A and B are shown apart, each in its own frame.
Chain A
Amino acid sequence: MSRPRALENIRVVDFSWVRAGPWATRWLGALGAEIIKIEWPENERGRLPSTTTPHSLEVNLNTSGNFNDTNVNKKSLSLNVRSAKGLKIVKRLIAISDIVIENFSSRVLQKWGLGYQELCKVKPDIVYVSMSGYGHTGRHHHYTTFGPVAQAVSGLTYISGLPDKPPAGWGWSYMDDTGGMYGAMSALTGLYHRNMTGRGQHIDLSQMVASVPLNGPALLDFTVNGRGSRRAGYPPGNRAHWPGTPLVNNYRGPTVAPHNAYRTHPGEYNDWCVIVCHSDEEWQRLVQVMGGPAWASSPKFATAIGRLQHQQELDEQIEAWSMTLGKYELTQRCQAAGVRALPVQSAEDRVEHDPQLRHREMYLAMEQAALGLHKVQNAPFKLSETPASNHLPSPLIGQHTREIVESLLGFSHEELRVGFADGTFWPTNRKRFPYMEEMLQ
């Protein structure tokens, strides 16, 4: 018998697209909610264009690898919500759902006639999570974001990089991932509150605003101490402190050395490890792992302040040693001796070489009809009674239209056929996928 799921019997109407919104509903789906993704091929963003379609396949709406990973555990209803008939149908769906979630620009749902007040008329205790770039409240609600823009405006880009260089920022849309986290947390806290009080609400999430609290200590250093982040030696690269600049905490834990990335053997692009010593004792352990070299016994490296003052030399010496070892061997030697060290891992490293992720079954293969069998990312939490799992591959566009329209909403098969003919369930001028022809038989 299958285990119960945490969000058993919870239904989510999911208008979200691109990345942040779909990343939120992916997790609600893994936790057991029924996610119904409302899609329309004419203005789809997320399935196309795809730079993650296997080279052996044609790029189409169903062959994006990244879409697949971002949209497991969902069903797809293709529906023209901009038509009067489509709007009526989606309201019928909302009336039997618990959560509505979307990440359009701030006024889109209102323009469709699906603003919060309207949603309440259809389902009085609905939990409505809007995830726009700047939120629905505030003078710049109409501004738009992608992850990198939210990160730039909020201060997250600035805190990453080497001093006296342009910001390195984040090499991906951190705030699409993290915006998705807040979307899911908002939905769950709203749902908990509804279950306890019987009342729904509108949760007005903003991707840009959600980034700001991730800089808490830096902001307090300014509001409390008047110290801004525009200063010598900040950001300090991978170090806790940049040598030759005033000693201050740079918001990444205790100010210590060594605290850096070091090249490892054989010196290829991702052959790096990081090493951190939080105490004199940890430093002495590292000295032992390095074989007790003469340079390391110099009194200038014996104390925390000394290692910070002579960090440049310290790092050069450590790197001369780290270059002699592979990053996994170095990690193992250090950790066996109680020294904090881990390898810099590429995606390939994580999927193929990381023994911990393998043990925890982070990447398990799953069959998707258009893409075939591929590994999909799993949940980082294990719930003892209601485990999260990937139980559905990402949907083909419109794959579940018949199931939802007929079985869930109670329309007849004839009504489904009429809806396809009049452009409600698929644009009349667009070629249907074979599975659509099948569902119309």
Chain B
Amino acid sequence: MSEAQPLPGPLAGLRILELADETGQFCGKLLGDLGADVVKIEPPGGERNRHVGPFLDDIPHPERSLSFWYYNTSKRGITLSLETADGRRLFRRLAATSDVILETFPPGFPASLGLDYDSLSLQNPRVIMCSLTPFGQTGPWRDYLSSDLLHMAAGGEMASTGYDQADAPNAPPIAPGGGNAWHMGGHFACMAIMAALVYRTVAGQGQYIDTSIHEACALTTEAAIANYIYRGEVVRRQTGRHHAAGPTPRTQFQAKDGTYVCALVGGRLNPKYIGELADLLDSYGMAGDLRDPKYKDPAVIAANTSHIIDDLVANFIASLPAEEVYHAAQDRGFTWGVVRAPEALLDDAHLHDRGFWKEVEHPELGRSFVYPGEAAIYNGSPWRISRRAPLIGEHNIEIFGDELGLSRGELSILAENRVI
């Protein structure tokens, strides 16, 4: 490779077939942005996520879904009906030369079409097939219907998240938004696929992976399970901070501009911390009585916890803009943060230093848009968005024609028969 060519991503050379709805498209993006050639197979007419908003300029259209755009970067797209014999034949040809098949059909559906792992691996023993489904392939709930909100309930996220009684009396448990059940499932599925790929580099053979989103969510509540197993505790919900067996001091304070600051103070108060806190508050002339030698005594600190947190820290934060508190505190070694709305991230200098925001071209619109970038910088095989999400059937000619050798005539007939 010449110096001028950009380095390929770590998964370059891998062909992945993605048969995924909203539950699995994120996993395909994770792999595609790392360099795999992800071919998204949609039913003729396009996948149902194309109908999820928001839409470009609020004009609903299957090519204008921002949600679809985001979760399908770095993929090519073809349409194919697996419910037709011609469709299944073409799919088998694609599967014969692919490395990974990611599918999110209801359990049993691929087998009903003869497209389960056992039959696909006969023609391609190296293939890795990952089923990513709400509850896995077995068990009493395997055929239950789900949604992001349902997973956040049953997985335990909601039982941990909510409000102090004082902030929102009788509030329900709260499910954080953003589709994070799908993220949790996607992360674990990606991990399992990668482990199978690493194993294949050594053993030469593929395998089948059964991933459950419910289990992924049930695993993503930090110490809640350990609190129960080791202490029998069931945790209580608190505003903007950790669940706990008993109440803990608040950590969210409103700044002068109305934005909140997350200041982790409770549980950390000792004479050394008080000294540092006094320095921080004093730099704005707001240390109050924190310099009083009485705070050398941990017992005095403990007795004044509410004064320190609810008066001194709260007043300090209320006197300044939230971003200023954040940087002033972090510069002095405090693990504090500003509670930003997502759009505030566009102004974050640190993200700009990391080259985080990516311009992604949408040639059919003659426009390009800014997308979020990578969690990690790979110095030897960079992450990149190689293309915007595919249009419906955008790569049908490229893949069915150029790659599988179908003539334009055959493609026309397949389209007329709703196969592609």
Known contacts A140-B350, A214-B178, A254-B52; is-contact A154 B345 (Cβ 8 Å): yes
User: CA A173 – CA B261 in complex, angstroms?
Assistant: 16
B105 adjacent to chain A (CB < 8 Å)? no
A238 to B147, CA, bound (A): 12
Residues in chain A near residue B371, CB distance under 8 A: 216, 219-220, 223
**Pair A249/B376 contact, Cβ less than 8 Å:** no
Query: Chain B residues near A255 (CB, 8 Å)?
Result: 53
Contact of A343 with B154 in the complex, beta carbons under 8 Å: yes
28 pairs from A and B in contact (CB 8 Å cutoff): A9-B202, A31-B195, A51-B223, A140-B350, A147-B222, A160-B161, A172-B242, A176-B222, A186-B376, A203-B378, A209-B376, A219-B342, A224-B369, A229-B341, A263-B172, A269-B234, A274-B158, A278-B147, A346-B234, A350-B156, A351-B225, A355-B140, A362-B215, A375-B229, A380-B212, A380-B216, A383-B209, A385-B205
Q: Does A293 contact B (CB under 8 A)?
A: no
Please tell me if the beta carbons of B212 and A213 are within 8 angstroms of each other in the complex: no
Q: Mark A231-262, 1 if CB is under 8 A from B, else 0.
A: 00001111000000000111111110001110
* A248 touching B54, Cβ below 8 Å: yes
Q: Contacts A168-B162, A168-B239, A223-B346 given: A203-B174 contact, CB under 8 Å?
A: no
Residues of A within 8 A of B378 (CB): 186, 189-190, 201-204
A1-28 interface (Cβ within 8 A of B): 4, 6-10, 19, 27
On chain A, the residues within 8 Å of B338 by CB distance are 152-153
Assess A209 versus B342: contact at CB under 8 Å? Given A165-B163, A225-B57: no
- Given contacts A253-B147, A357-B214, are A384 and B208 in contact (CB under 8 A)? yes
Residues of B within 8 A of A184 (CB): 191
From the candidates A19, A341, A380, name the one contacting B215 in the complex (CB within 8 A): A380
Residues of chain A within 8 A of B54, CB atoms compared: 217, 220-221, 225, 227, 248-249, 251
Q: Which residues of A contact B341 (CB under 8 A)?
A: 155, 158, 228-230
- Which A residues are in CB contact (< 8 Å) with B219? 177, 377, 380
Contact A162 B192, beta carbon cutoff 8 Å: no
Q: Are B154 and A171 in contact (CB under 8 A)?
A: no
A325 CB-CB contact with B under 8 Å:
no
Contacts known (A178-B183, A189-B10, A217-B67); A253 close to B210, Cβ less than 8 A: no
Residues of A within 8 A of B302 (CB): none
Give B58-80 interface residues, CB cut-off 8 Å to A.
Answer: 58, 66-67, 69-71
How close is A273's CB to chain B, nearest CB, in angstroms? 7
- Chain A neighbourhood of B4, CB < 8 A: none
Q: How would residues 165 to 192 of chain B score, 1 for a CB under 8 Å from any chain A CB and 0 otherwise?
A: 0011001111111111001110111111
Assuming A261-B158, A270-B234, is B163 touching A146 (CB within 8 A)?
no
Question: Does B356 sit within 8 A of A, measured CB to CB?
Answer: yes
A383:B161 contact, CB within 8 angstroms: no
Quick one: closest B residue to A173, CB to CB? Answer: B222
CB-defined contacts of B172 to chain A, threshold 8 Å: 237-238, 260-261, 263, 272
B381: interface (CB < 8 Å): yes
Partner of A172, one of B53, B203, B221, B337: B221
**Which of the segments A131-139, A298-306, A419-427 contacts the partner chain?**
A131-139
A338 within 8 A of B: yes
Do A170 and B189 contact each other (CB < 8 Å), given the known contacts A7-B199, A155-B341, A225-B58? no
Q: Output the least CB separation between B49 and chain A (Å).
A: 9
Chain A interface bracket (under 10, 10 to 19, 20 to 34, 35 or more): 35 or more
Provide the residues of chain A in CB contact with B251, threshold 8 Å.
148
Of all chain B residues, the one with the shortest Cβ separation from A49 is B267
Beyond the given A227-B54, A248-B53, could you list 18 further A-B residue pairs with CB under 8 A, ordered by the A residue number? A7-B198, A27-B191, A51-B231, A138-B350, A151-B262, A155-B341, A168-B162, A172-B223, A178-B184, A199-B380, A202-B380, A229-B343, A251-B54, A339-B145, A359-B140, A377-B219, A385-B203, A386-B199
CA distance A298 to B192 in the complex (A): 49
Do B228 and A348 touch across chains, with their CB atoms under 8 A apart? Answer: yes
Q: Assess whether B104 is interfacial by the CB under 8 Å rule.
A: no
Interchain CA distance A235-B205 in the complex, whole Å: 47
B11-47 to A contact mask, C-beta < 8 Å, 1/0? 1010000000010000000100010000000000000
Interface centre among A191, A209, A363 (most CB of B within 10 A): A209
Q: Which of A35-43, A52-60, A405-413 lies on the face that meets chain B? A: A52-60
Residues of B within 8 A of A347 (CB): 156, 159, 221, 224-225, 227-229, 234-235
Residue numbers in A under 8 Å from B330 (CB-CB) = 140, 143-144
Interface-forming stretch among B84-92, B131-139, B283-291?
Answer: B131-139
- Contact of B231 with A340 in the complex, beta carbons under 8 Å: no
Q: Does B197 lie within 8 Å of A19, measured CB to CB? A: no
* CB-CB nearest in chain B for A200: B380
A158 and B342 contacting across the interface, CB-CB below 8 Å? yes
> Distance (Å) between the CB of A105 and the closest chain B CB?
10
Say yes or no for B240: interface residue by CB 8 A criterion: yes
Q: Scan B228-258; emit 1 where CB is below 8 A from any A CB, else 0.
A: 1111001111111111010000011010000
- What sequence of 0s and 1s flags, for each residue 333-355 of chain B, a beta carbon within 8 Å of any chain A beta carbon? 10111111111111001110110
Given contacts A177-B222, A185-B194, A261-B175, contact A270 B342 (CB under 8 A): no
Closest 6 CB pairs of A and B: A65-B230, A201-B380, A380-B215, A171-B160, A249-B53, A160-B176
Residues of chain A contacted by B203 (CB below 8 angstroms): 4, 385
B350 → chain A closest CB, angstroms: 4
Do residues A360 and B354 form an inter-chain contact, with CB atoms below 8 A? no
Closest chain-A Cβ to B413's Cβ sits at a distance in Å of 33
A143 to B156, CA, bound (A): 31
* Cα distance, A154 to B156, chains bound together (Å): 22
Is there contact, CB below 8 Å, between A252 and B30? no
**Could you tell me if A188 and B149 are in contact, using CB atoms closer than 8 angstroms?**
no
Which of B22, B58, B342, B378 has most A Cβ within 10 Å? Answer: B342
Which residue of B is nearest A105, CB measured?
Answer: B333
Near A by CB (< 8 A), chain B positions 252-293 give 252, 254, 260-262, 264
How far does the alpha carbon of A263 sit from the alpha carbon of B234 in the complex, in Å? 18
Bound complex: CA A205 to CA B371 (Å) = 18
Interfacial chain B residues near A171, Cβ < 8 Å: 157, 160-162, 235, 237-238, 241-243
* B376 in complex: contacting residue of A172, A182, A214, A356, CB < 8 Å: A182
Give chain B nearest CB distance to A107 CB in angstroms: 14
B377 close to chain A: CB less than 8 A: yes
B177, A148: Cβ atoms closer than 8 Å: no
In the complex, whether B107 has a CB less than 8 A from a CB of chain A is no
Residues in A neighbouring B177, C-beta threshold 8 A = 159-160, 235-236, 250-252
Contact among B149, B151, B176, B185 with A159 in the assembled complex (CB-CB below 8 Å): B176
B218 within 8 A of A: yes
Given the known inter-chain contacts A31-B195, A380-B211, please indicate yes or no for A252 contacting B179, CB distance below 8 A.
yes
Asked if A216 and B372 make an inter-chain contact with CB atoms under 8 angstroms apart, the answer reads: yes
With A195-B202, A270-B173: A212-B345 Cβ-Cβ less than 8 Å: yes
The answer on a CB contact under 8 Å between A137 and B377 is yes
Contact in complex: A341, B150 (CB < 8 Å):
yes
| Contact of B198 with A172 in the complex, beta carbons under 8 Å | no
Interface residue A103 (Cβ < 8 Å from any Cβ of B) = no
Which of B135, B234, B335, B373 lies in contact with A144, CB distance below 8 A?
A: B335
- Let me know if B353 and A172 touch, CB within 8 A: no
B295 contacts chain A at the CB level, 8 A cutoff: no
Q: Is A335 among interface residues, defined by CB-CB distance under 8 A?
A: yes
Indicate if the CB atoms of A206 and B144 lie closer than 8 Å: no
The CA-CA distance from A433 to B104 in the complex, in Å, is 50
